[in-house]
Structure 1
Amino acid sequence: MMRIRAVTLVGSLLGAIGGASAATLLIERDEERVSFETSELLARPDARQIPIPSDVGYGTSASYRAIPLSALLSHLPPSPGRTLETVARDGYAAQIPMELAYQDAPGAARAWLAIDPDDAPWPALPGKQASAGPFYIVWERPEASGIPTKYWTYQVTTLRYVPSPASRWPGLAVEASLPGDHPARIGQQAYVTQCLPCHTLNGGGSSTVGPDLNIPMNPTQYFQPAALRRYLREPASVRRWPDQKMPGFTPRQLSETELDALIEYLAHMAKRSPD
């Protein structure tokens, strides 16, 4: 059972009201797929309680019944050169490098699949009406490998092996003639990590949680530079709307150097819009 400080009572109330329903997790490799039920995953011999001192989803310390992500993926190993795409109920889709998904060296960051138990469902996420269930990618020692918060995918339904973003969506790429150390190239990687899970760009991407960032216009074309920086740090300080999902990026999540590079990338891509 997961225990979260200050929200355990909420979780208990939610369980008393309705309880979680059994869920199915899919792993996909091209046309092949395997599936796992909640009860099946909880009964695995490698399932154990994992303490998470700084949980990204709930914003506090937590403990989850979980299994090593690498062990789960071994049931349908990836093809060479693939990336792990974690797909959530709302369409959020993070692209996790396979070497991180399989990493299990002592002292390094390690990914786990946390499982929402049927008999003691997790509480709602802060500011949301649903929990992080049915499945949630959590990380031990994320600071050891610089794991970005975008790799903590909650409400997971599917794990699939896909080509790398650069080969899958060529429209994300900067002009080939740019020098290797050009800030826009660094910004492209920041975009793939931080923005691609929710947005498409030039139609490239598998999530439409947010709008396309280059069609019909690029943010650098309708934001003043200072406003764009402020918007990326704290969206609600610039504009508000009823179903606001856009999170801000703290300096810890996106350094000033990375933020500069991301804006440079967006400005560069404004010139490469198919519109």
Structure 2
Amino acid sequence: MRNPLKHFVHLPLLAALLAPAAWAAELKLELAGGSRSWSTAQLLSHPQAQKIEIPADVAYKRDMTYRAVPLATLLDGVQPGDHLQAVALDGFAAELPAAPLLSTQGARAWLAVEDPAQPWPALATGKPSAGPFYLVWQNPEAAQIGPEQWPFQVSHIRLLSPVAQRFPALLPAADASAEVQAGFAVFQKNCLACHRLNGAGDSHFGPDLNIPHSPTEYFAGDFLRQYIRDPQSLRKWPQGRMPGFSEEVLSDTELGELIKYLTQMAARKNN
């Protein structure tokens, strides 16, 4: 899971983000009809852009107000059964089923756009903001939207094949139990945005979770479960970027399914 408060950005990139020229940011969309870029100015003046309130914002951990565009209005030609990926400046790559992104009821996705006249606060001291573009949600609980589906510092949104088709090295055995199959779904939603497994995945943010070793191979007893819940309780490391997954984000059942998936994949290494 990505931690905005411990999010590392290379100094040249940080300087670029903080410089005036950064306000000429562009969001690139790669959809079925081709590529399209939207500038900050174009999005701020979009006819459907409006002020929205986001309670308990995931990146800022408090209530926030944004000028934002309904994401569905930018996704020309995308169908509910499609699969999208939002890529951030740091290599974070959120896998997103299209259906909730297109919904206009219940959970609703918005692209928040940072206004150069009213820049957003830094995520932490010495860090940039969540801009220039940030995917935020109203009523996220209506579609069980997790923290990994709130990518910030977004640079690209692209239409892709589903994860299982793009990365067969992630697939559990054909005869895997229902729990392992469910664990694969949990992995896609909560882990794949930061981590690869068997070298498969698009993220460049965190380490591979199977090569050279799965965490199920070096965490004894219940320590892996404890680590996922609260990494700093096992490894006190100020530079650590992974926060814990609370029970509200990842239930005990889902956590158990994830561990079963990782355990099986430890025997299915793709070296």
Aligned mates of 1:233, 1:225 — CA distance in 2 = 15
Bigger CA drift: 116-125 or 234-243? 234-243
- The match for 2:254 among 251, 254, 258 is 258
Report how far residue 260 of structure 1 moved: 0.5
Aligned mates of 2:55, 2:81 — CA distance in 1 = 33
Contact 2:23 2:40 in 1 (8 A): no
Write the mapping of 1:185-224 to structure 2, written as runs, cut at 5 A: 185-224=181-220
- The residue type equivalent to 2:110 in the other structure is W
User: Which SS does the other structure have where 1:225 is aligned?
Assistant: coil
- The residue type equivalent to 2:46 in the other structure is R
User: Which SS does the other structure have where 2:270 is aligned?
Assistant: coil
- The residue type equivalent to 1:99 in the other structure is A
Aligned partner of 2:65 in structure 1 is: 63
Question: Do the aligned partners of residues 196 and 128 (structure 1) sit closer, same or farther apart at CA in structure 2, a change above 3 Å counting?
Answer: farther
- Residues 46-90 of structure 1, C-alpha deviation per residue, up to 9 Å, x if partnerless? 00001111211100011110000000112xx23785311000010
Report how far residue 43 of structure 1 moved: 0.5
Aligned partner of 1:97 in structure 2 is: 97
Aligned mates of 2:98, 2:247 — CA distance in 1 = 26
TM-score, with length taken from structure 2: 0.89
Report how far residue 144 of structure 1 moved: 1.3
User: Which SS does the other structure have where 1:184 is aligned?
Assistant: helix
Contact 1:86 1:156 in 2 (8 A): yes
Question: Do the aligned partners of residues 135 and 124 (structure 1) sit closer, same or farther apart at CA in structure 2, a change above 3 Å counting?
Answer: same
Aligned partner of 2:47 in structure 1 is: 45
* Unaligned stretches of 5+ residues in structure 1: 1-16
Contact 1:93 1:207 in 2 (8 A): yes
Question: Do the aligned partners of residues 128 and 192 (structure 1) sit closer, same or farther apart at CA in structure 2, a change above 3 Å counting?
Answer: farther
Aligned mates of 2:103, 2:124 — CA distance in 1 = 30
Contact 1:58 1:126 in 2 (8 A): no
Report how far residue 98 of structure 1 moved: 0.7
Aligned mates of 2:82, 2:122 — CA distance in 1 = 33
Report how far residue 195 of structure 1 moved: 0.3
User: Which SS does the other structure have where 1:78 is aligned?
Assistant: coil
Aligned mates of 1:112, 1:251 — CA distance in 2 = 26
- Residues 222-269 of structure 1, C-alpha deviation per residue, up to 9 Å, x if partnerless? 111321111101111111345321121000000000000100110010
Aligned mates of 2:23, 2:110 — CA distance in 1 = 21
TM-score, with length taken from structure 1: 0.87
User: Which SS does the other structure have where 1:65 is aligned?
Assistant: strand
Aligned partner of 1:7 in structure 2 is: none
- The match for 2:245 among 242, 249, 253 is 249
Provide the identity percentage: 44
Contact 2:79 2:98 in 1 (8 A): no
Question: Do the aligned partners of residues 248 and 96 (structure 1) sit closer, same or farther apart at CA in structure 2, a change above 3 Å counting?
Answer: same
Root mean square deviation, CA, Å: 1.8
- The residue type equivalent to 1:232 in the other structure is I
Q: How many residues of Structure 1 are paired with residues of Structure 2 in the alignment?
A: 253
Contact 2:82 2:99 in 1 (8 A): no
Question: Do the aligned partners of residues 252 and 127 (structure 1) sit closer, same or farther apart at CA in structure 2, a change above 3 Å counting?
Answer: farther
Aligned partner of 2:131 in structure 1 is: 133
Contact 1:81 1:164 in 2 (8 A): no
Question: Do the aligned partners of residues 80 and 115 (structure 1) sit closer, same or farther apart at CA in structure 2, a change above 3 Å counting?
Answer: closer
